[in-house]
Amino acid sequence: MKVLNMNKFSSFLALLVLVSAPVTMLQAEEGAKGEVGMVKCDYIPGSKVNLLIHSAASFNCVFEHGGVKDLYDGEAGIGLGLDLQWTEQSSMTYSVMASTGKDVDWSTALNGTYTGGKASAAFGVGVGAASLIGGSNDGFALVPLAIESGTGVGATAGIGYLSLKAK
């Protein structure tokens, strides 16, 4: 039986995210307004469904912008890739970039699904990164990279997603 080489896998994870980040940033910059806030999502324990090549978990998310906090229901995971990670606790923080300067209802502005490269690894304490774009008319990007933290064991890599819906 062949054992997964963690050094090669870690290199693959880093390469996947680094390759997808510039594409996401370029798409966000086309009519860029700039950073408008931060969104932080906390894992709801026991909500993860892991099918190895696809996974999904529920999150409670808070979008902070201009001193205001808007609440969102979130679902995140690997749409296509490899998910061999089992976590007890997880959180993700993204910088929200907007490509629109129009009148925006920020309380629902992030509704939609964001996709892009995602990778993470954990052995006890874990770290990860993702670069995602989407939302209304692909007008928002969650960049530059998500900062993920948590506890668990395993690794993930593939096309990640985050779906947000205002509460």
**DSSP, residue by residue, the chain:** -PPP-HHHHHHHHHHHHHHHHHHHHHHHHTT--EEEEEEEEEE-TT--EE-SS-EEEEEEEEEEETTEEEEEEEEEEEEEEEE--EEEEEEEEEEEEES--S---TTTTT-EEEEEEEEEEEEEEEEEEEEEEESGGG-EEEEEEEEEEEEEEEEEEEEEEEEEEE-
Q: Which of 72-76, 102-106, 142-146 is the least confident region?
A: 142-146
Most confident region among 6-15, 57-66, 148-157 by mean pLDDT: 57-66
**146 vs 22, which has greater pLDDT?**
146
Mean pLDDT is lowest, of 3-7, 34-38, 100-104, for 3-7
Q: For residue 155, what pLDDT is reported? A: 87
In which band, very low, low, confident or very high, does the pLDDT at 59 lie, cut at 50, 70 and 90? very high
pLDDT (tens digit per residue) in 13-50: 444 444 444 443 434 344 446 778 999 999 999 899 98
The CA distance from 25 to 97, in Å, is: 9
> Each residue of 5-24: b (16+ CB within 10 Å) or e?
eeeebeeebeebbeebbeeb
Tokens found for residue 40: 């932080």
Q: What's the chain's average pLDDT?
A: 76
Rounded to two decimals, what is the model's pTM?
Answer: 0.74
Q: Mean pLDDT throughout 110-127?
A: 84
The predicted pLDDT at position 62 comes to: 96
Give yes or no for residue 159 having a pLDDT over 60.
yes
pLDDT at residue 153, as a whole number = 83
Statement: residue 10 has pLDDT above 50: no
